[in-house]
Amino acid sequence: MGQLSITIGRVLLGLYFLMPGLMKIAGPAETIAYMESHAIPFAAPLMWFSASINILGGLALIAGRHVRLVAYGFVIYVLLVNFMLHDFWTMGPDMVERETQNFFKNLGILAGLLVLAGTATVRPLSIAGWWLSDKSV
């Protein structure tokens, strides 16, 4: 039962990143405008990079490939997003509640990623067999 829980959690975390990545590609202008409203430099190229990371990393989690590496990568990603885009401490009263909720929700996602990384099989970085599941390496 424990392995089933980990697999379901891994797939759900993968979907959590995959779906926003696809949404960024479907409507890039909205994401770029949001990033620019937070004074993120190079918003357009970073949006495309972020969308790619969301999609590729989300698919890797869903497929069980390089789970530890991807989970730790997403930990860094979530920290960057939290401090750059959900900076509730700099916002007016109309945005504080929503962005505080987003900030702490993301910390929960970060906690799940850390647990997932801690339970994942250590996989050496190699081109050979990159398509194989972590369990078969």
Intervals of the chain under pLDDT 50: 137
pTM for the full predicted model: 0.88
Q: Is 76 helix (H, G, I), strand (E, B) or coil?
A: helix
Helices and strands in the chain, H and E counts: 5, 0
Report the pLDDT value the prediction gives residue 131, as an integer from 0 to 100.
66
Match 């409203």 to its residue by tokens: 37
Q: What is the pLDDT of residue 34?
A: 94
Task: State the pLDDT at residue 137.
Answer: 46
**Residue 2, pLDDT score:** 82
Look at residue 53 in the predicted model and tell me its pLDDT: 97
Cβ partners under 8 Å of residue 100, min gap 6: 88
pLDDT of the residue at 133: 63
